[in-house]
């Protein structure tokens, strides 16, 4: 149980700390990608947590508004819990559009900027309520539904060529641990999380979204907050076994949904194996960076009481960063660097192309 507690306390850090204002400009997609699909994606709607959030939580709540976050893109702290672009940006690039505006900032964006969709993800949240008093995924979908019903930004007819990203990266499990529930209840709770995720996927599709991309959980036992115990040399396989249970149940749910609809509407994004393949890449995967120490983060606190971006009461920095963020897969103790995400999506390109081409 102690190892589970360490894992999910680390997860809490992963998913809560990406609470920041998003830079308006994302990664712009190419016309080439548009021609890969049976439909032309024009909008991306995003739901989930800090792996997808690009700025929905108030600036005052996030350490990621502090230097050195954002040093690669856009050159200053600006809304992504990384040195630069994150998963949402790379999926937007893949489908051929600009990264969607965060929901929190919709009233500050022009109508042209809103045409690419909207990001409803809030760092720290989960499928159910977590320790963070922010909108869970059910509420995020409610926001989306309300916008559609209002009809002044999007209407159901606009969604024929839309894509959704639904990120569930583990905050529900950190909350489970914080409640001191018995470890024997864990498998049943994993099933509850996946069952509610299935309900959420049905709702998003019923609102008119054409394709729904669902990432598997990344190998949480490989996060630097866990691997520091082995000097960032090896993953915790006991913890990854729990992740595989979640992923197995989620894949079963997606197969069931697609069989019911008689279409390949729901798409699995295999982050679990993509992360592992990047970690193990020795040059055999063209387009994916070879990271010499893939489990070691670029930005860390000078001691266990500090973290990336920490300063003391005098404003003296209490963190260290690597010489080149492009040389590291992980930015901090939980989140990939921009180069890490780029490498992951480079490996995923072929499977995503095949999935999006299916009717």
Residues contacting residue 192 through CB under 8 Å, at least 6 positions apart: 128
Q: Which residues pair with 22 in a beta bridge?
A: none
Instruction: Supply the residues annotated as catalytic.
Output: 50, 332, 335
C-beta of residue 54 within 8 angstroms of C-beta of residue 119? yes
Distance CA 121, CA 88 (A): 10
Q: Which helix (H) or strand (E) holds 189?
A: helix 186-206
Residues contacting residue 201 through CB under 8 Å, at least 6 positions apart: 166, 212, 214, 253, 254, 257, 266
Give exposure, 92-108, as e/b (b: 16+ Cβ within 10 Å). bbbbbbbbbbbbbbbee
Kindly report the backbone phi and psi dihedral angles of residue 8, in degrees, each rounded to the nearest multiple of 5, phi listed first. -80, -20
Calculate ∠ Cα 343-345-351, nearest 5°: 130
Ramachandran region, residue 79 (left: φ > 0; alpha: ψ -120 to 50; beta: rest): left
Distance CA 277, CA 288 (A): 9
Calculate ∠ Cα 99-254-149, nearest 5°: 50
Distance CA 279, CA 324 (A): 18
For residue 127, count other CB atoms closer than 10 A to its CB.
23
SS3 of the chain: helix, strand, coil, percent, to 5:
45, 10, 45
């Amino acid at each position: 149980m102690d190892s589970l507690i360490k894992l999910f306390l680390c997860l809490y850090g992963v998913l809560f700390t990406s609470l920041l204002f998003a830079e308006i400009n994302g990664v712009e997609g190419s016309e080439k990608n548009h021609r890969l699909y049976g439909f032309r994606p024009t909008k991306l709607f995003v739901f989930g947590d800090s792996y997808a959030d690009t700025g929905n939580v108030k600036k005052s709540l996030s350490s990621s508004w502090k230097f050195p976050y954002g040093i690669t893109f856009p050159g200053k702290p600006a809304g992504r819990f990384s040195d630069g672009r994150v998963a949402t940006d790379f999926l937007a690039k893949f489908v051929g559009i600009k990264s969607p505006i965060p929901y929190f900032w919709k009233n500050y964006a022009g109508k042209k900027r809103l045409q690419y969709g909207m990001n409803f993800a809030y760092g720290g949240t989960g499928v159910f309520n977590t320790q963070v008093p922010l909108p869970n995924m059910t509420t995020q979908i409610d926001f989306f539904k309300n916008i559609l019903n209002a009809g002044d930004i999007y209407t159901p007819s606009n969604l024929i060529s839309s894509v959704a990203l639904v990120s569930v990266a583990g905050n529900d499990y950190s909350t489970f641990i914080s409640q001191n529930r018995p470890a024997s209840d864990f498998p049943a709770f994993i099933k509850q999380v996946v069952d509610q995720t299935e309900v959420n996927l049905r709702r998003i599709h019923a609102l008119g979204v054409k394709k729904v991309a669902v990432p598997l959980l990344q190998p949480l036992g490989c996060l630097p907050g866990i691997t520091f115990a082995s000097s960032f040399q090896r993953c915790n396989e006991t913890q990854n076994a729990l992740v595989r249970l979640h992923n197995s149940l989620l894949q079963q749910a997606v197969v069931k949904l697609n069989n019911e609809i008689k279409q390949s509407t729901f798409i699995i994004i295999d982050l679990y194996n993509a992360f592992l393949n990047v970690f193990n890449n020795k040059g055999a995967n063209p387009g994916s960076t070879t990271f010499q120490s893939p489990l070691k983060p670029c930005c860390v606190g000078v001691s266990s009481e500090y973290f990336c971006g920490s300063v003391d009461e005098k404003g003296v920095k209490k963190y260290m960063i690597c010489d080149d963020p492009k040389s590291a897969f992980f930015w901090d103790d939980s989140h990939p660097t921009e180069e890490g995400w780029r490498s992951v999506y480079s490996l995923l390109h072929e499977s995503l192309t095949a999935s999006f081409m299916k009717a």
